[in-house]
Amino acid sequence: MIQIQKLNDIVNNRGGLIRTSDMLAANIKSHEIRKLVQDGVIERIRQGYYQLAGNEDISEEALIASLFPDGIICMYTALFYHGYSNRTPNGWDIAVDKNTSKSRFKLDYPYVHPYYLEPHLLTFGVTTGDYSGIKMKIFDRDRLICECLKYEDKMDRETYNKAIQGYVADPGKNITKLLEYAQKRRVLQKVKHKIGVWL
């Protein structure tokens, strides 16, 4: 019974998720964790992450924030967040360090599409977004457009065009930041050619 109370405390503090490290810190031993799984008290989501059995209350946002605290929301997911696309993303586009383990992204749910970047490219143009009360790192609008220009050939043409038009019409854009980020992402000529004509 003491373990159940400890689990409930962890669940309340972690948005529905239970990490192995949280249970160990709460003095729940490894063999007790295995027994909790066998007894159907908790369910394994993926290695190191559990939820209370039958708990359907964990939001996708809470799951993404817990599984990928180092990730930055980017591309289609960020375009939708910033209002540059009206297409609901079919998954989560997340920019991560290229040296991170690829196995982290092998999930049945939610669908995650990782963008592997050099570590120094994850240090600028990052802000915090609010997804249903869950705070997550996300590229700001100026950095996002640089990413769209970088991955132009891999993007759906209609979404790409709407993103550029949305950015140009956005009163919150910061051209100074855009040019700074464009230089770092090596898309400065594209910015001048594709966006400069509209400004």
Q: What is the pTM of this model?
A: 0.78
* pLDDT tens digits along 135-161: 999 999 999 999 999 999 999 999 999
* pLDDT tens digits along 68-115: 999 999 999 999 999 999 999 989 999 999 999 888 888 777 889 999
Rounding to the nearest 10 degrees, give the CA dihedral for residues 33, 39, 108, 14.
-50
Q: Where are the domains of the chain?
A: 2-58, 62-198
Q: What is the pLDDT of residue 41?
A: 84
CATH number of 2-58: 1.10.10
Phi-psi region of 40 (alpha: psi -120 to 50; beta: other; left: phi over 0): left
- The answer to whether 87 and 162 have CB atoms below 8 angstroms apart is no
Cα 135 to its chain centre, rounded Å, is 10
The answer, yes or no, to whether residue 187 has pLDDT greater than 90, is: yes
Confidence label for 197 from pLDDT (cuts 50, 70 and 90): low
What is the number of other CB atoms lying within 10 angstroms of the CB of residue 6? 18
